[in-house]
Structure 1
Amino acid sequence: MNHISEIRTVGVPVTDQDRAVTFYTETLGFELLMDAPLPQFGGRWIVVAPAGSAGASGSVALVPASDGNPAGVDTGIRMGSPDAKAAHQHFLDVGVDTDELLEWPGIPPMFSLRDQDGNRLYISEG
């Protein structure tokens, strides 16, 4: 029997949850799904997701960084964009730490960027 049916939320460690919410919602265009106090966790339980998705395709929890869960990691999170080239230019224009757009024959265009804590995220067309 398969006991796992989906991946819902991936945690990304951040040093300042308010700053992270601003980046993920205003810069990346995600929507805030949940922001609840969680003092036992050292902060809040904050969940964001691509706008309009209501988290159906997955979400990101902006969790407080700690010694055992430091910020500035390669998250491995791959996100889709209908136009990676336009997204790439947008993020460059607004000053996001963005790598070069990779375009190879037969492979969707893709690039990576980093949030304000240096957490790497990936975007590919599709």
Structure 2
Amino acid sequence: MTESTPTTVSNIGVVMFSVTDQDAALAFYTGKLGFEVRADSAFGENGEMRWLEVAPPGSRTRLALNPPMGGQPGGGMIGVETADVTAEHARLSAVGGVDPSEPMSSPGTPYMFMVQDPDGNTVAVVEVPAG
């Protein structure tokens, strides 16, 4: 067995989803899911690219919404946490334009449900007991 040097990585800071239209993705995550904008800036030689980050209020981890880099958008998955899956499911069901799956739980897994953004990226809403 090979010895390895301990990692210096201490946090997942940014998760990246590829999206077809950054403005449409921004509208979904802020208008439907209730996330806030953490970064929205132009970059590149002529400012032709855009770095866009959103996150649930109070979250350390951010979600970057990027145009596809040589591939198709969608296919990514993240999990977000709530103390009350039932209440969040009811809220998203009432918002319109969001089609959450039915909440579910299996032995060894938390209570959760899934939603998909317009590009097919999946957001798992997972219940974390208060405490």
- Give the TM bin, normalised by the shorter chain: 0.7 to 0.9
The structure where strand makes up a greater share of residues is 1
User: What SS does structure 1 have at the residue aligned with 2:58?
Assistant: coil
What is residue 16 of structure 1 aligned with on the other side? Answer: 21
- Tell me the distance in 2 between the aligned counterparts of 1:63 and 1:106: 33
Is 2:5 aligned against 1:4? no
CA contact (8 A) 2:51 2:64 kept: yes
Could you tell me which residue of structure 1 aligns to residue 35 of structure 2? 30
**Aligned position for 1:49:** 55
1:89 positional shift: 1.9
State how far apart, in whole Å, the 2-side matches of 1:95 and 1:86 are.
17
Cα distance change of structure 1 residues 78 and 43 upon mapping to structure 2, 3 Å threshold: same
RMSD (CA atoms): 2.1
CA contact (8 A) 1:85 1:109 kept: no
Rg larger for:
2
What per-residue deviation string (whole Å, max 9, x for no partner) do you get for residues 51-94 of structure 1?
133xx2x11000012433x2221x23111012111111222222
Contact preservation (8 Å) 1:43, 1:64: no
Number of equivalent positions: 121
Q: Which runs of 5+ in 1 are unaligned?
A: none
Tell me, in whole angstroms, the C-alpha distance in 2 between the residues paired with 1:63 and 1:99: 25
Q: Structure 2: where are the runs of 5+ without partners?
A: 1-5
Instruction: Give the SS at the match of 1:52.
Output: coil
TM-score by length of 2: 0.81
Give the TM-score of the pair, scaled to structure 1. Answer: 0.83
